Amino acid sequence: MTVNEFMELAKDSISSLYGKEESALIAIILLEDTLGIEPGKASRIKKNQLTTSELDILNERLVKLKSGIPVQYVTSTAWFYGMKLEVNNSVLIPRPETEELADIIIKDQRSVNRSLNILDIGCGSGCLLVAVGANLKNHSLFGLDISENAVSLARKNLKNQGLNAAFEVTDILKDEVSLNEMFDIIMSNPPYIPFKESHLIDKQVLENEPHLALFVPDDDPVIFYRKIVDFAYNNLSESGTLYFESNPAYTDLICEMAADRGFKYCEVSKDMSGKYRFLKIRS
């Protein structure tokens, strides 16, 4: 089978799930990953005929795609801030909005010429730590997550980029954090979707991605933000910054919480869709 023939087969096979345009993009991702081609370089493929082993792998992956498994879980790969990460269904697939948060942090802190302690609460795959750590050199990185599988994956992703971090498996809502540090940057993209809104979530996300990392109780949708703001009050350095990705419906409430806890500065900014999603909180 030729490359073009497989591409057409893949697009036709999954178009009922994703539509024609997205199916074409997914087919390209599948082909690039299987053939070891850099993202966006599929058009430069010089070969025409797929080998038997390549076709076997592609067909096996196509079966998983047709069952509704996201392409990132099929390939065990997600690209974030230009870096290749390993992902599995114990962590969320990194989103473009979280890349925007990484970009805000990197641009804010790039000119700082002293060593910083950087903590990611709810680190998941480690995508924020990888992006920030790779672009802000010579800083100490720390990660917290409730999931041992997530921490293991985050540690692996950092190692693959030549980075190291200290990790702790802990439930930020229930446990005392034992990291005995003051932090210059605390960043977090915690769960922020109320359970009552689960019907608005894409079926593929609901059936494959960890609900623990997505949903919060309907009666307390800012539960994680409150706990993290409290933690930051005692563990953020005097000149430090707390960065959040959040549900746009609750940014004002989070700023009010921060003010009640003694923080004097809370800036809210928009994501690429024009929604107020990112917060910077300082003393």
Assess contact for 215 and 248: CB atoms under 8 A: no
pTM: 0.94
Is the pLDDT at 45 greater than 80, yes or no? no
Q: What are phi and psi of 140, to 5 degrees?
A: -95, 130
Calpha distance 95→221 (Å, rounded): 20
The conformational region for residue 153 under phi > 0 = left, psi -120 to 50 = alpha, else beta, is alpha
CA angle 105, 209, 159 (to 5 degrees): 50
Residues in the chain: 283
Residue carrying structure tokens 């730590």: 129
The answer to whether residue 47 scores a pLDDT higher than 70 is no
Q: Which two tokens stand for residue 104?
A: 């805000």
Cβ neighbours of residue 76 under 8 Å, at least 6 residues apart?
Answer: 86, 87, 88
Mean pLDDT on 237-263: 97
pLDDT in tens, 55-110: 999 999 999 999 999 999 999 999 999 999 999 999 999 999 999 999 999 999 99
Looking at residue 36, its pLDDT comes to 86
Q: In degrees, to the nearest 5, what angle opens at C-alpha 192 toward C-alphas 262 and 83?
A: 100
Give yes or no for residue 192 having a pLDDT over 70.
Answer: yes
What is the C-alpha separation between 72 and 87, in angstroms, rounded? 7
Residues 6+ apart with CB under 8 A from 89: 73, 208, 209, 210
How high is the mean pLDDT of the chain?
A: 94
The structural domains of the chain, ordered by start, are 3-75 (1.10.8.10), 81-282 (3.40.50.150)
